[in-house]
Amino acid sequence: MKKIIVRILIVAVVLIVAGFIVVGMFLDSIIKKGVETAGPAITKTEVRLDGVSLSVFSGKGTVKGLFVGNPAGYKTASAIQVGEATVRVKPGSLMSNKIVVESVSINAPDITIEGGMKDNNLTKILENVQSFSGSATTNTSQTGAQKPAQKIQVNDLLITGGKVNVSLGLLGGKSVTVPLPEIHLTDLGKNSDGITPAELAQTVMKSIIDGALSSATKAVSNIGGVATDAAKSLGEGATGGVEKVTKGIGSLFKK
């Protein structure tokens, strides 16, 4: 009798473990599909992921190949690219109305800013995110839906080693690359019921834009030097070209 009970317990444990493995496999695809579905709705740009891996046991996960495209009208290939990011989630919160993310670490993101200091591809994406966030709130209040929307709490978010590609259309498609300052955000949605994915995206985008524009501003003098060298390379009669390019860069950063 004891042997039978032991065997039943072993089978039960195996089934439970197998169940968690299956859930984990489906969870990865669900997260990937969710990002690629919700992302474009929020940013109004192409959003895709190469892959997601999340352990339901430890709550540790990896996101690979995040790509955020540009809004219509911009020529550069992308706005944001991230090779890999690590995430640690509180496992018990995955099935609740508020997912608790213990930490997010994003290493070496590749950011591209195209346009002026006040009007560019990143600010346009931010406008789209803000518009989505506002419309989502309005729709919820109008429908009076009783089902609570799933929200997020992020305790620690760190972005390091990033670079910003400042696109200069007047330099024949060339760009100047500057470092992105470290971005460290904490306690997002901690003292409330949480924040929506759109609100989280809005907060992160604002920080990225501030960092990108800060770096671009500091690099203006260097950009001017590059422009002058580029114009000089056109030949001895390029004096007018130097002035044109320099003025163009000045107007670019005054927009």
Report pLDDT for 24.
Answer: 44
Report pLDDT for 148.
Answer: 55
Report pLDDT for 203.
Answer: 92
Report pLDDT for 52.
Answer: 86
Q: What CA–CA distances, in Å, run from 211 to 68, 178, 227?
A: 18, 11, 23
Report pLDDT for 237.
Answer: 43
40 in helix, strand or coil?
A: helix
201, 43 in Cβ contact below 8 A?
yes
Measured torsion, CA atoms of residues 134, 86, 21, 65, in degrees rounded to the nearest 10? 80
66, 41 in Cβ contact below 8 A?
no
What does the pLDDT profile of the chain (255 residues) look like in tens digits?
655 544 444 444 333 333 333 334 446 777 788 888 888 999 999 999 998 888 878 888 898 999 999 999 998 899 999 999 999 999 888 778 888 999 999 999 999 988 877 788 999 999 999 998 777 654 444 444 445 567 899 999 999 999 999 875 544 456 788 899 999 999 999 988 899 888 998 999 999 989 988 887 776 556 555 544 444 443 444 444 444 444 544 444 444
Cβ-proximal residues to 221 (8 Å cutoff; 6+ apart), any chain: none
Could you give the CA distance from residue 234 to residue 230 in angstroms, rounded to a whole number? 7
Report pLDDT for 17.
Answer: 36
Report pLDDT for 222.
Answer: 61
Report pLDDT for 136.
Answer: 60
- Dump the DSSP string for 89-114: E-GGGTTSSEEEEEEEEEES-EEEEE
100, 89 in Cβ contact below 8 A?
yes
CB atoms within 10 A of CB 184: 11
The backbone torsions φ and ψ at residue 26, rounded to the nearest 5 degrees and listed phi first, read -70, -35
Report pLDDT for 71.
Answer: 94
Nearest Cα residue to 163 out of 141, 179, 147, 150: 179
- Using the CB atoms, write b or e for 41-77: b if 16+ within 10 Å: ebbbbebebeebebbbeebebebeebbbbbbeebebe
CB atoms within 10 A of CB 249: 20
